[in-house]
């Protein structure tokens, strides 16, 4: 399992696809099944898969921020969606809508984005912590070929 070539290659192809799918799921949640929670879980699995293939250290680098920061950003975004209507003179958490460029957007989607970020943050915090302070199931030593981004930059 460790440093499997097949897994690493597949992960590089799958991670962007999974992330794209997670955004699709989140947006779809507005009228159909889906939503911020399930979207966030799927996005979390993308980084978890990356961690399985390349190790948690590489996955943390790929995230480009910390799970805690995602958590804070998510809570702040959700809070914003609750407070915007309040500032506009409505009730807290009331849905406000606008139609820029013919697309109907409103505060509920902001709330969903917040949930999406919170769930990614929580999932990854748990996955990274579990691996780093206990199981150590994922690859530990960075394999020479395990850092595709840096390798490409160097080339």
Asked if 11 and 147 count as a contact pair (C-beta separation under 8 A), the reply is no
Between 62 and 93, whose beta carbon lies closer to other proteins? 93
125 binds other proteins (CB under 8 A): no
How far is the first Cα of the chain from the last one, in angstroms, to the nearest whole number?
Answer: 28
Binding to other proteins, residues 77-106 (CB under 8 A): 79, 83, 85-86, 90-95
Q: Which residues contact 69 (CB under 8 A, 6 or more apart)?
A: 121
Count of residues engaged in binding other proteins, rule: CB under 8 A? 17
Maximum separation of any 2 CA atoms in the chain, in Å: 58
Smallest distance, Å, CB 71 to other proteins? 6
Residue 106 phi, psi dihedral angles, 5° rounding: -155, 180
Between 3 and 66, whose beta carbon lies closer to other proteins? 66
Smallest distance, Å, CB 85 to other proteins? 8
Smallest distance, Å, CB 121 to other proteins? 10
Interatomic CA distance for residues 15 and 21, integer angstroms: 10
Q: Where does this chain bind other proteins (CB under 8 A)?
A: 68-69, 71-73, 75-76, 79, 83, 85-86, 90-95
């Amino acid at each position: 399992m460790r440093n499997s070539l097949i897994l690493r290659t597949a992960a590089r192809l799958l991670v962007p696809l999974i992330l794209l799918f997670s955004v699709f799921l989140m947006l779809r949640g507005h009228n159909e099944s889906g939503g911020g929670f399930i979207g966030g879980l799927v996005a979390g699995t993308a980084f978890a898969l990356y961690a399985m293939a390349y190790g948690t250290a590489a996955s943390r680098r790929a995230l480009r921020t910390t799970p805690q920061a995602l958590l804070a950003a998510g809570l702040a975004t959700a809070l914003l969606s609750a407070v915007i209507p309040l500032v506009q003179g409505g009730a807290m958490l009331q849905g406000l809508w606008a139609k820029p460029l013919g697309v109907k957007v409103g505060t509920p989607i902001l709330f969903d984005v917040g949930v999406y970020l919170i769930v990614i943050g929580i999932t990854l915090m748990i996955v990274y912590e579990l691996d780093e302070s206990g199981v150590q199931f994922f690859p530990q030593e960075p394999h020479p070929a395990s850092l595709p981004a840096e390798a490409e930059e160097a080339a």
